[in-house]
Each structure stands twice: as structure tokens, then as C-alpha cells.
Amino acid sequence: MNLETYDMVIIGGGPAGSAAAIFLARYGFNVCLFEKKAFPREILCGEFLSKEVIEIIKELNLFDKFLSLNPNPIDKFCLINEAGSELKTDLNFKAYGLKRSSFDLLLLSAASDSGVAIFKEFGVSQIKKDGEIFYVSAKNSDNIIVNVQSDIVIAAYGKQNILDKVLKRDFVRYKSPFNGIKFHIPKSMLVNLAPNVISMFVAEGIYCGLNEVNEKAVNVCFIENRSKLVKSSRQNLIEFIMANRNLNQIFSNGSLEQINNLPAYGTGNIYFGRKSLVENSIFMIGDAAGVIAPLAGDGIGMALQSAKIVSKILLRKKVEKLSLYQAEKLYVKEWRYLFTRRIRTASAIQKIILNKHLGSIGIKIAKTFPGTLPKIIEMTRGSNNLIQV
Ligand SMILES: Cc1cc2nc3c(=O)[nH]c(=O)nc-3n(C[C@H](O)[C@H](O)[C@H](O)COP(=O)(O)OP(=O)(O)OC[C@H]3O[C@@H](n4cnc5c(N)ncnc54)[C@H](O)[C@@H]3O)c2cc1C
């Protein structure tokens, strides 16, 4: 069989896959990318874009195009518990809110403009390795099959995927109680919402973030622990909003019931534990490598950073004639250096906040020592300057 050969095959066209494709194409590699969904598409996310994201967007020369999408600037963070106790701080950086449909399309289009061969609406179903060569098969909804071969495969297919089972990854055995759901709520349904603030409302077993994503829509995104909440996710959200006076006040009269009619984008079984960073010599990036608790961390920032690390290492592999094994070791070392502490801190904060008593104590401490919250924000939000390779 005569197969198309690429220097690298990337699976997934979210922020991680598209950014890796752009970096690698700009380094002169011949890259192909498979994305199974039709873009633009929505995906579960709080749609809060931190400084790390913005720095890499600038590095990719996409900032002007990004601004042309009219993202909503955000410079304040506010945490509010059930009792109405409020903790507000400056972010000390400029972040943005933007729908993922727009953001991800920007990156995927830039990958295409950089010369990446993009197989749109092709889902990868098989990856085989014979000696040094990977054989990757993908299929679209008309059952058209594309087969390609490459020395290097990068998996950027997100937090959970059938391919995790195909690759027999350890974590697929674990069941997580965490569900996440996102809505885009028309601004006309809401009152008293400051556009420059990301607000996080917390209660036992659930937290919910609110931030504007453009002049017409507000992202409402929440995570719930299903071992503590048994009703449907939509119902849990409505009850959560009703029980929280500060949050309730944001919804104008009668608008709350309208949540029942809005489309929801959700996922269950969100696993925040450790994952392998290289599996059968496939480089895992973005959420495929590790998921950070969104309450205190920015997954898109990590997705872009891991794309950047892997690309730099693969460039070094070529220039310094490193073996694949050496490149894998370098990637694991760099990834752990950049992200392990962030992920652990974010996970600990998520545990505290989802517990009513610990959460209240945490808020009291942070109020008594006002430097605590900005410090935590700094610890869990990375910076582009941290890159070593
Ligand atoms: C509740 C919640 C809220 C969050 N809020 C924020 C936030 O506000 N800010 C932030 O920075 N991060 C947030 N995150 C994290 C962020 O959404 C992820 O970290 C980010 O989407 C990871 O990007 P990715 O490219 O790795 O994966 P994804 O964005 O999941 O992209 C993966 C892509 O791969 C494609 N794909 C999957 N399987 C295949 C296949 N077999 N073949 C081809 N293509 C395939 C998918 O269609 C998808 O387009 C949140 C996460 C959760 C759970």
C-alpha cells in the first residue's frame, strides 16, 4: 500500500493539537492533523483565557486576529460562597473571555495557513507501530478511510477518548465523580454583572464560574461532584443558583427557568489524576497528558505550553540527532517541571473549596491575609517565561 508520509501526525485540533501543528510547521516539518469534529464547534470550558494563553497567542503572531474576535477583557477575580462571603482580587494581568468555537477555529485556521495538512471531520480510530514507523488510520462519517505513516505521533485528543482504551492507558480503569457542564447565557437574562470580572460561586460539591465571552453572551460553567449531588446536572445548577443569594440576584426575573431551554455542553467522568505523558512512544499533550482542576488552573494555557514544549523538543531531536527515547525523556522531564506543582495545588484547592467547612475556613484565611489569593493565582497560572527547552 502506498501511504502518505508525514514528519509528524497530530490527533486532535483543539488548542493543544493546533498550536503544536503551527509550531512544528513553522519549524519546517511536514505535519498532518486529524480533527474529528466539524469546526466551529463548542466544547466544555469556562472560556477564561489567562495571560499564559495570551502570551503564546502573541508568540504565534495571532494576537491581532484574536482581538478582531472581540474577546471580553477580564482583570478581576471574585470568589463567593453560599453564605455570601466574598473574596475579590485584581488578577494582576489582563485575561479574556471568548467562546471556544471562535478561539479553536482561530488556531485550527492558523495551522492550515501554516501549511499543515488538515483532515477535517476525520476521527483517528487506529494507531499501529511497526518497528520505528507508526501507521495511523482515520475515518469520516461517509466511512472514507485515510491512512498515513510517520515516525512521530502526537496525541492531542482531549481529556477522555476511546483511544485511551485502544492504547490501554492505566487511568481508564478509574471512575471519576466529576461532571462538567457549560451554557452560553444571553446577557439579556442577567443583571448586575461586571464585564471585567470572572466570578466563581462555590458550595458543597459544586462550583460555578461566570464570565462574559462577548457583548451578547455569558459563559456559565460548573463542575459537580456526583457522589454528593444526585439530581440532573441542569437541576443541580438551578438549585445551586436559587440557594445562592448573590448568584440569584444576577438572574433577572423569570430568566432562571430559561436555562432549561438552552443547549448544554458537558462531559462526565472528568479525571484529574496522573496520566502517562508518553504512551507507546506517542507524545501526549494538552488534556491527553493531564487535566488541571479548572477552579484554580487554566487548561488551555497548559495545552498551548505542552504543544510548545513538544515542538521545541522535536526540533532539538532533528538538529541534535537525538533518539526518540531521548526526546521522550526530555519531554517528560520538562512537562513535570512545568506542570506538576500547578496540578497538585489546583487539585488541593478544588478539594478544599468543594467542602463547605474547609471552604469557609479557606475564605476566612484568605480575607485575613489578603496576599494569599494573588499568590495562589500566581502559583496555579503559569507564564510563558517558564519554558526551559
Ligand atoms: C468544567 C471545565 C471548565 C474549564 N474551564 C477552563 C477555562 O475557563 N480556561 C482554561 O484555560 N481551561 C479550562 N478548562 C480546560 C480546557 O477546556 C482544556 O484544558 C482544553 O480544552 C484542552 O485542550 P486540548 O486541545 O488538550 O483538548 P480539547 O480542547 O478537548 O481538544 C481535543 C480535540 O481533539 C478532537 N478529537 C478527539 N478525538 C479525536 C480522534 N480520535 N481523532 C481526531 N480528533 C479527535 C476533539 O474533537 C477536539 O477538537 C476547563 C475544563 C473543564 C472540565
44 lines ligand 1 (CB under 6 A): yes
| Total Cβ atoms within 10 A of residue 38 | 9
In a domain? residue 189: no
Q: Is residue 275 part of a domain?
A: yes
Our answer on whether the CB atom of 363 is closer than 6 Å to any ligand 1 atom is no
Range of the domain at 89: 4-175+270-386
pLDDT in tens, 68-122: 999 999 999 998 988 888 888 899 899 999 999 999 999 999 999 999 999 999 9
**pLDDT tens figures, 295-340:** 888 999 999 999 999 999 999 999 999 999 999 999 999 999 999 9
How far, in Å, from the CA of 382 to the mean position of ligand 1?
18
372: in domain? yes
| Domain CATH for 291 | 3.50.50.60
Q: How far is the CA of 288 from the centre of ligand 1 (A)?
A: 9
Residue 199 lies in a domain: no
Give nearest CA residue, ligand 1 atom 26: 286
CA-nearest residue for atom 16, ligand 1, is 299
Whether 13 is in the pocket of ligand 1, judged by its Cβ within 6 Å, is yes
Whether 344 is covered by a domain: the verdict is: yes
Any domain includes 299:
yes
Q: Which atom of ligand 1 is nearest to the CA of 125?
A: 41
Is the CB of 153 inside a 6 Å radius of any atom of ligand 1? no
Query: Is residue 212 domain-resident?
Result: no
Q: Strand 178-186 to strand 265-267: parallel, antiparallel, or no bridges (unpaired)?
A: antiparallel
In this structure, is the dihedral angle defined by the CA atoms of residues 23, 91, 274 and 167, taken in order, positive or negative?
negative
How far apart are the C-alpha atoms of 384 and 298, rounded to whole Å?
Answer: 13
* Residues 152, 115: Cα–Cα separation, whole Å: 18
Torsion of CA 159, 49, 180, 289, to 10 degrees: 20
| pLDDT at 367 (0 to 100) | 72
Structural domains in the chain (count): 1
Query: What is the phi/psi pair of residue 131, to 5°?
Result: 65, -120
Tell whether ligand 1 has an atom less than 6 A from the beta carbon of residue 213: no
Residue 365 lies in a domain: yes
